[in-house]
Amino acid sequence: MSIVSEIKAADARVVRTRDALRLAMTELAAELPLDAITVRAIAARADVGYATFFRHYPDKEALLADVADKLIREFLEQAAPLLQQRDRLGAARSICTFVNGHLPIYQALIAGGSGETVRAEMLRQTMATMAATRQRKADGPMDDLILFHMVSAILNLLAWWLRNLDTVDADAMGEIIERTVLTPLSQLRLQPPAGL
């Protein structure tokens, strides 16, 4: 086996192991509170050795951040085309449908006991991802403030929704996000305050 083949095989193992660990964390989040999930349980569910876990992640929180990052990228991929078409309601509903389809992990990430810490990390990751993929350069602090407000407001609304699923369905929550966040911010973007 050549060195290149060995490197490719090792890379494939790393990808498979990380995928297995992310899936294990997602499955366990559907069954247990976040603080009850241990590295041993994650490694056992992923069918990898305990020490192998630490070759990929320094701790459970790093794995959780990786799971969150992957989910953020996936839901931004769905919402971005709709936002670019200025379909704010479609984008909001798409976000809620995506969250609803990944309910256990989002409940653990956003509405769970570590919700504030995880939401802060999700806010940071989402801001970085959206800033890196924006179609035009920010026109100053107003663009950055609008992006920060939009992302944090949506995460907070999603946290509320995940605690009140029995009262509001995904379509209705999408409409709430569109009416309270996306449409007002689109108006603000059109008319920036003086001095910003």
The pLDDT of residue 195: 44
Supply the pLDDT for residue 39. 96
What is the number of structural domains in the chain? 2
The verdict on 83 and 53 lying in the same domain is no
Surface-to-core class of residue 143, CB atoms within 10 Å of its CB (0-12 exposed, 13-18 middle, 19+ buried):
middle
Domain that holds residue 169: 60-196
Same domain, 53 and 76: no
pLDDT per residue rounded down to tens, the chain (196 residues): 555 445 555 688 889 999 999 989 988 887 887 788 899 999 999 999 999 999 999 999 889 888 878 887 787 777 777 767 778 888 889 889 988 988 877 887 777 655 566 667 777 777 777 777 666 666 777 777 888 888 889 888 998 998 898 999 999 999 999 999 988 877 765 444 444 4
DSSP 193: P
| Nearest alpha-carbon partner for 96 in 147, 181, 148, 161 | 161
Domain-terminating residue out of 18, 40, 57 = 57
Residue 99 sits in the same domain as residue 183? yes
With 0.75 as the threshold, say if the pTM is over it. no
14 and 80 part of one domain: no
Q: Give yes or no: residues 170 and 78 share one domain.
A: yes
pLDDT value of position 196: 40
Report how far residue 157's alpha carbon sits from residue 86's, in angstroms, rounded to the nearest whole number.
Answer: 21
